[in-house]
Structure 1
């Protein structure tokens, strides 16, 4: 049946991308996983914290299966953006462990419900959804943030790849990447429009 296939396919992809997200923390110091690497403060551990809160909401309250631990309110303006960074009082283990507990809760929701099970997302303009919509949305958002994490990790120590296994298989050396960057820079400069 296509519904069961679609649900399993999306769920397997979600499981894989979650692990890829966590692999971005491997081998980095507390400072490096927390430090702001963009003008808006994006950082690796903050991305994990953000994903844990939102996945807990989407596979929790949306389907009347609330995550059993307290979460900040999604509509609290004073807390807006607080899920994107980690205070000095929050540990790496605390953030990672919560994310894994969220996975267990979300997986139980996904396993228990049919792909067309109804849900309600009060913060969406069209709040009536199906499990299918939420699976696609959470997979898309997690993949989007995994792309951010890829770039942040490359910036920190040059590690590339979507997970630890692919990063370990990287065969190109620094000379290869220096030459590639030089080639791309040359092409970018050559493509500049002529001044009028």
Structure 2
């Protein structure tokens, strides 16, 4: 598998997408929408944003736009969407509709990428001059980075919401310790940090 660069890139994107989907599993509508940072970061909004990025980079930028996209997507692409309008779900956007959009965007991307070599090119208008001729390989690397960056945000938000951690429910990627151990560990870190006040 490692002798096929495209397969490696697609695998990393797929793993990141799976982590993103898991971050909203088992939570209430309220919890997936709760703004958990001063800038409003919320789980469902991140999924909505990533759906738009997949549709943009692997659809519009490669001359193969997705069909049946919501109105807000066109507003995002022509820069008329309200600031951060792709980073939260409105009351009339259900979790299922956002997750369906993300699933459809990923499937569309996979179909487009199956047809193109890594050296095929597209145009990323919002990158200015540097986006005039962008290889598929660069778009894939960019989307892997984008998805993992946001999955990291979702890691923290999900832990704040209900304590769930890791890439998947069965892979928390943390030492298996009880709450008491974690409390002592956190106190130790806080005491160390406090030495630098």
2:187 to 182, 186, 189: 182
Deviations 1:75-129 (A, max 9, x none): 3244331110001111111110111011110001111100000110010030120
SS in structure 1 at match of 2:122: strand
Partner in structure 1 of residue 116 of structure 2: 113
The number of residue pairs the alignment matches comes to 191
Partner in structure 2 of residue 167 of structure 1: 172
Are the equivalent residues in 1 in contact too, given 2:167–2:173 (CA < 8 A)? no
Partner in structure 2 of residue 45 of structure 1: 44
CA RMSD of aligned residues (A): 1.8
SS in structure 2 at match of 1:152: helix
Are the equivalent residues in 2 in contact too, given 1:43–1:85 (CA < 8 A)? yes
Partner in structure 2 of residue 96 of structure 1: 99
Are the equivalent residues in 2 in contact too, given 1:20–1:164 (CA < 8 A)? no
Measured in 1, the distance between the counterparts of 2:175 and 2:190 equals 22
Q: CA deviation at 1:161?
A: 0.9
Q: CA deviation at 1:171?
A: 2.1
Q: Does 1:32 align with 2:35?
A: no
Measured in 2, the distance between the counterparts of 1:117 and 1:105 equals 17
Partner in structure 2 of residue 82 of structure 1: 85
Structure 1 unaligned blocks of 5 or more: none
Provide TM-score, normalisation by structure 2: 0.91
Q: Which 4+ runs in 1 deviate beyond 6 A? A: none
Partner in structure 2 of residue 145 of structure 1: 150
Partner in structure 2 of residue 191 of structure 1: 196
1:72 to 74, 77, 94: 74
Are the equivalent residues in 2 in contact too, given 1:72–1:79 (CA < 8 A)? no
Measured in 1, the distance between the counterparts of 2:68 and 2:178 equals 45
Q: CA deviation at 1:173?
A: 1.2
Residues 170/92 of structure 1: CA separation in 2 closer, same or farther (3 Å cut):
farther
